[in-house]
């Protein structure tokens, strides 16, 4: 089904690619880059504006709202093959499953968006990791080979939108694999195993980058960690500095050799204790910047000057409260957009308890404040 946008694209004198690059490098730009992080699955079932127009996922929503285009090329840098997902048993409201990462987990039967209750990891000892690594983290796995020609057809050098290269995860996915509790125990009981897991993640990303970097003119790099909660990091600062940061530096060296000097990572929670280590490793942009777990984006943008960029940082709680609160918070972001290095959007997936009319007001107001004058 062809998706018909509900609103016109913001007017502009630059291409999306020119605009993104200038805005994120503190150079003059015609108007703010217009993007959003997305929505919970429930939004597509509960918001009439979505289900009445046949919009069922975030990719379709981006077209529906006519946002500026942005794309990321990702590689097979994790479990390959993944574990076979299967149901172990069921209760009245939940299912106990083995998920794709080998975790025994309890999930809701109705599949609503929530963090699963993780019961047990498949990896608890170095022997478990050795077996998993040999079976699912092979560097020579044919499935890790990138089809360069197919990607080049989809993303030509003369494209008019920013294109990023995904740099995976050095520790966040390991947290997924071991669980938060399991990672904490492993860092104490089996530190060599955890470091080997981080090294394995790094090598697989390096192998992917070696395949794609010579063939594309990337505008940025991306990543995913989610290694913080509202009270700060889930690992010690010493571990992060000594084990994770050196791997960031290796990846950053490859990126910069090909002119890529913008690298964001998706990390929720209070990232402030890790920020200097992100920057030291080459990650210079925060995404999606959860305000209630951290702070107003102005606090860090002014503290770190042109060294830091932020994407996100519009407090989703204000979207729930109402139009006055939306307007007040939006006004607080105006100086940040004007100075550059900042693209505002909802600081995570927009939750379903936001009223659709408030969300449309938010989009209209964003264009009024940050669109081309």
Q: What is the mean pLDDT of the chain?
A: 97
Euclidean distance between CA atoms 169 and 150, whole angstroms:
25
Give the residue from 252, 285, 284, 286 showing the smallest Cα distance to 269: 286
Q: Where are the beta strands (DSSP E) in 70-161?
A: 71-73, 86-90, 94-98, 104-108, 117-120
Reported confidence tier of residue 176, pLDDT bands at 50, 70, 90: very high
Spatial neighbors of 133 by CB under 8 A, at least 6 apart, are 196, 200
Instruction: Give pLDDT tens digits for 10-58.
Output: 999 999 999 999 999 999 999 999 999 999 999 999 999 999 999 999 9
- Average pLDDT, stretch 186-210? 98
Q: Using the structure block, give the residue that is written with the tokens 């913008």.
A: 262
How many angstroms separate the CA atoms of 97 and 103, rounded? Answer: 8
Instruction: Quickly state the pLDDT bin for 202 (edges 50, 70, 90).
Output: very high
What does the angle CA 151 – CA 154 – CA 160 come to, to the nearest 5 degrees? Answer: 125
* 34 Cα distance to chain centroid: 17
**348 neighbors 268 (Cβ within 8 angstroms):** yes
What does the pLDDT read at residue 267? 97
What CATH architecture does domain 16-80+123-370 belong to?
Alpha-Beta Barrel (3.20)
How far is the C-alpha of 43 from the C-alpha of 37, rounded, in Å? 13
pLDDT tens-digit series, residues 266-300 = 999 999 999 999 999 999 999 999 999 999 999 99
| Alpha-carbon span 154 to 146, nearest angstrom | 14
CA 101 to chain centre: 19
Look at the block and give the residue holding tokens 């107003």: 296
Widest Cα–Cα separation across the chain: 62
What's the DSSP call for residue 259? T
How far apart, in whole angstroms, are the C-alpha atoms of residue 10 and residue 31? Answer: 9
- Taking the alpha carbons at both ends of the chain, their separation in whole angstroms is 35
Identify the pLDDT of residue 115: 83
Q: What percent of the chain is modeled with pLDDT above 90? A: 96
CA distance 42 to 112: 7
What one-character DSSP code corresponds to residue 351?
Answer: P
Tokens matching residue 317: 């709680």
Q: What is the pLDDT of residues 108-144, one digit of tens each?
A: 988 887 888 999 999 999 999 999 999 999 999 999 9
Band (373; pLDDT cuts 50, 70, 90):
confident
Residue ranges of domains in the chain: 16-80+123-370, 84-121
Q: How high is the pLDDT of residue 76?
A: 98
DSSP state of 68: P
Binned at pLDDT 50, 70 and 90, residue 361 comes out as: very high
Share of the chain above pLDDT 70, in %: 100
| pLDDT band, residue 96 (cuts 50/70/90) | very high
DSSP summary character for residue 231: T
pLDDT of 213 higher than 80: yes
**pLDDT at 178 (0 to 100):** 97
């Amino acid at each position: 089904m062809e998706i018909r946008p509900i609103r016109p694209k913001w007017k502009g004198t630059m291409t999306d690619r020119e605009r993104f690059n200038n805005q994120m490098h503190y150079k003059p730009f015609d108007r703010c880059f217009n993007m959003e992080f997305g929505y919970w699955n429930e939004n597509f079932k509960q918001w009439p504006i979505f289900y009445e127009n046949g919009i069922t996922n975030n990719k379709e929503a981006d077209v529906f709202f006519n946002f500026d285009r942005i794309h990321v090329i990702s590689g097979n840098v994790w479990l390959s093959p993944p574990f076979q997902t299967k149901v172990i048993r069921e209760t009245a409201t939940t299912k106990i499953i083995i998920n794709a990462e080998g975790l025994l987990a309890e999930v809701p039967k109705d599949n609503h968006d929530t963090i699963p209750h993780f019961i047990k990891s498949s990896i608890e000892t170095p022997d478990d990791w050795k077996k998993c690594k040999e079976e699912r983290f092979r560097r020579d796995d044919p499935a890790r080979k990138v089809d360069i020609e197919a990607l080049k057809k989809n993303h030509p050098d003369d494209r008019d939108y920013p294109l990023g290269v995904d740099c995976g995860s050095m520790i966040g996915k390991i947290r997924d694999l071991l669980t938060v509790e399991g990672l904490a125990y492993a860092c104490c009981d089996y530190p060599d195993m955890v470091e080997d897991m981080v090294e394995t993640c790094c090598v697989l990303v390096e192998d992917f980058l070696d395949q794609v970097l010579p063939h594309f003119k990337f505008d940025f790099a991306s990543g995913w960690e989610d290694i913080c909660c509202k009270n700060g990091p889930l690992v010690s600062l010493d571990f992060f500095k000594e084990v994770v940061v050196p791997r960031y530096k290796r990846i950053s060296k490859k990126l910069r050799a090909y002119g890529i000097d913008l690298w964001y990572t998706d990390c929720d929670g209070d990232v402030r204790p890790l920020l200097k280590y992100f920057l030291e490793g080459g990650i210079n942009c925060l995404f999606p910047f959860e305000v209630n777990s951290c702070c107003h984006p102005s606090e860090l943008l002014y503290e770190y000057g042109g060294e830091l960029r932020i994407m996100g940082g519009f407090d989703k709680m204000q979207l729930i409260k109402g139009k006055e609160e939306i307007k007040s918070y939006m006004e607080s972001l105006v100086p940040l957009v004007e100075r550059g290095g900042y693209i505002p959007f909802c600081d995570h997936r927009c939750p379903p308890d936001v009223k659709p009319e408030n969300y449309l007001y938010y989009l209209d107001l964003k264009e009024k404040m940050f669109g081309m004058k």
